[in-house]
Amino acid sequence: MSKYLIDIFLCIAYGIFLLGASGSFRYNGAKKTVLIMLSAITMNICISLPLITKILSAGQGTGNPVMVDMFFGTVFVWTTFLAALVFRIKKSLHIFHALIAVVEICWFLNIVLFIYGTYRFSVS
């Protein structure tokens, strides 16, 4: 898959997440909006994991911004979203919404770092 196509799909996944998050804020964490956000996170994981394995198998150094981005994306975006889901299940919606806002910000930073890293350092 080309760099441009990966970037487009990652931006589409982020847009879908923002759509779900805005609906979640408006409708107080409705189930449909959570499913929209979950589909966006799943799309992000499906796009990122093949690239992560490709970079790790190529043995590129840990100073590569793409490697930093993978750690940032995994730790902050995916796990923060999982934590938000736990708080939604516990009916603590104010913490759920705060964590969703954190995910939005971290995912934006993740996309910027990913695009910078893939164009600055070759991953193909």
Is the model's pTM score more than 0.75? yes
The proportion of the chain whose per-residue pLDDT surpasses 90, expressed as a percent, equals 48
pLDDT of residue 110: 84
Lowest mean pLDDT across 12-21, 26-35, 45-54 = 45-54
Average pLDDT for residues 37-64, to the nearest whole number? 78
Structure tokens at 52: 């992560």
Question: Do 13 and 43 meet the contact criterion of CB atoms below 8 Å apart?
Answer: yes
Contact between residue 95 and residue 87 where contact means Cβ atoms under 8 Å apart: yes
- Pick the more confident residue, 4 or 46: 46
- Average of per-residue pLDDT across 58-78: 71
Q: Is 32 exposed, middle or buried, given 0-12, 13-18 or 19+ CB atoms closer than 10 A?
A: exposed
Residue 18, C-beta contacts closer than 8 angstroms, at least 6 positions apart: 104
